[in-house]
């Protein structure tokens, strides 16, 4: 998946997704089950039995698969929540036989897994339920999670204390009713807190998506990625670059008799065409101004390849309107990086290389690519011309790039 720099930065790594899934979901019942069996059988004896390691293995396997499926088209939340109890039951039943199913906490594992899995499956894709019901499912899931502790406490008392022969007798004790109500209310509180946090995260995600779009408009994806990875990456630096300019010939006179809507429609198609080609040819940065396109490339060969493709694309777009674009390329030293004041900055390139590239473009006819001697290198070029460049005493040799 071709994610943006900001999306990549905000997305959890596979390891983080696994740990969040493990401790936030898959390991919760197993932890309560471990404590119950440890208290019933004694810590030393329990550590010598395979039960502890089997249920931990089941929790790890469930967390692994659920975290892998999380961002897929089919998250499989219901099925995934059954991996833990299924693996635990399969191994333990093979070791203990039907005796395994006599333990009520083993059946409780299945019960909680089914309910939590169902609630997650209903809300996971953020659209299967209307907003209020989706929110209610999230809150209810947290109440159910809190109920794990209550259920295991009830089972512990029923198994270990002969005084409690039924659930009714357990809840006849006022202290137990207090614990049960407090447990469920705490679950409700956690659910409301999770709901508030989820809504805030959704807002942050929407905001980050907008910021990502605006940032890419200003910097481009490559520069944005470099800047996020290293805030010092775009400090002003002298570099060797190739600069390409393109401009529509006769555009001003073409615009005069036409309505602005027609002009904007053509210029937007012109920009879309340029953007597609320049991205394909690894332009470091490009920008548009009226009918002018400027692009910066790591090398002259990449600039030339882009220019050739632009020539064909611009011809197909502009010739039906009796227009054409001239293209110029020059390579050399320039200063690139973030320019601006303390509060407003923008990426740009400065230097004679940029100015010369613009002058070369100005000398190109419609449908023609002119390239300087410094940019030509080993490229096959045709006719050589000399053009007079503003600010330079001697004429500049340029070549027609076919």
pLDDT digits (tens, 9 = 90+) for 291-347: 899 999 998 889 999 999 999 999 999 999 999 999 999 999 999 887 777 777 777
**Torsions phi, psi for 386 (to 5 deg):** -120, 130
Q: Does 55 share its domain with 79? A: yes
Q: Which residues constitute the domain of residue 68?
A: 5-218
Which of 218, 251, 284 terminates a domain? The answer is 218
The total of structural domains in the chain comes to: 2
84 to 56, 76, 160, 206, 352: CA distances (angstroms)? 9, 14, 26, 34, 67
Whether the CB-CB separation of 370 and 398 falls below 8 Å is answered with yes
Looking at the structure, do residues 311 and 270 belong to the same domain, yes or no?
Answer: yes
Q: Does the pLDDT value for residue 217 go beyond 70?
A: no
Chain-wide mean pLDDT for the chain? 87
**Are residues 149 and 35 part of one domain?**
yes
- Beta strand 369-372 with 324-340 is parallel
Residues 202 and 291 in one domain: no
The reply to whether 283 and 214 lie within a common domain is no
Q: Are 239 and 378 found together in one domain?
A: yes
Query: Distance between CA atoms of 170 and 164, rounded to whole angstroms?
Result: 6
CATH number of the domain to which 368 belongs: 3.30.70.1230
Q: What is the pLDDT of residues 364-402, one digit of tens each?
A: 899 899 998 888 877 767 778 888 777 777 888 888 887
Among 349, 376, 345, 380, smallest CA distance to 360 is for 376
Whether 136 and 280 share a structural domain: no
Instruction: Check residue 1 and give its pLDDT.
Output: 47
pLDDT at 19: 95
- Check residue 387 and give its pLDDT: 82
Is residue 288 in a domain? yes
Residues 73-100, mean pLDDT to the nearest whole number: 93
As a whole number, mean pLDDT of residues 227-247 equals 82
Q: Is 226 part of a structural domain of the chain?
A: no
pLDDT in tens, 198-210: 888 888 888 877 8
SS3 228: helix
What pLDDT does 348 receive?
81
């Amino acid at each position: 998946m071709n994610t943006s720099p900001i999306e990549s930065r905000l997305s959890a790594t596979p390891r983080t997704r696994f740990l969040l899934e493990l401790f936030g979901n898959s390991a919760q019942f197993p932890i309560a089950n471990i404590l119950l069996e440890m208290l019933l059988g004694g810590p030393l004896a329990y550590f010598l039995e395979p039960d502890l390691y089997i249920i931990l293995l089941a929790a790890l396997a469930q967390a692994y698969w659920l975290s892998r499926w999380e961002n897929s088209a089919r998250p499989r939340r219901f099925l995934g929540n059954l991996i833990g109890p299924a693996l635990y039951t399969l191994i333990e039943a093979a070791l203990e036989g039907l005796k395994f199913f006599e333990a009520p906490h083993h059946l409780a594992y299945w019960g909680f897994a089914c309910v939590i899995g169902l609630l997650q499956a209903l809300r996971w894709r953020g659209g299967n339920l209307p907003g209020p019901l989706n929110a209610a499912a999230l809150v209810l899931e947290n109440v159910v999670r809190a109920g794990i502790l209550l259920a295991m406490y009830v089972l512990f008392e029923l198994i270990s204390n002969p005084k409690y022969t039924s659930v009714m007798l357990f809840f006849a004790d006022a202290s137990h009713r207090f614990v049960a109500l407090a447990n469920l209310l705490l679950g409700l509180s956690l659910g409301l807190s999770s709901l508030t946090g989820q809504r805030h995260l959704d807002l942050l995600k929407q905001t980050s998506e907008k910021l990502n779009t605006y940032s890419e408009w200003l910097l481009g994806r490559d520069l944005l990625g470099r800047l996020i990875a290293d805030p010092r990456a775009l400090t002003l630096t002298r570099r060797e670059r190739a600069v390409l300019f393109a401009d529509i010939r006769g555009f001003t006179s073409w615009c005069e008799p036409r309505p602005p809507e027609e002009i904007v429609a053509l210029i937007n198609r012109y920009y879309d065409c340029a953007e597609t080609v320049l991205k394909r040819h690894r332009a470091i940065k490009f920008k548009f101004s009226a009918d002018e396109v400027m692009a910066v490339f790591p090398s002259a060969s990449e600039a030339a390849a882009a220019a050739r493709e632009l020539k064909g694309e611009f011809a197909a777009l502009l010739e039906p309107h009796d227009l054409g674009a001239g293209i110029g390329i020059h390579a050399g030293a320039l200063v690139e990086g973030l320019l601006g004041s303390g509060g407003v900055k923008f990426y740009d390139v400065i230097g004679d290389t940029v100015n010369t590239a613009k002058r070369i473009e100005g000398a190109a006819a419609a449908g023609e690519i002119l390239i300087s001697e410094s940019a030509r290198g080993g490229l096959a070029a045709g006719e050589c011309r000399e053009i007079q460049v503003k600010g330079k005493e001697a004429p500049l040799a340029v070549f027609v790039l076919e």
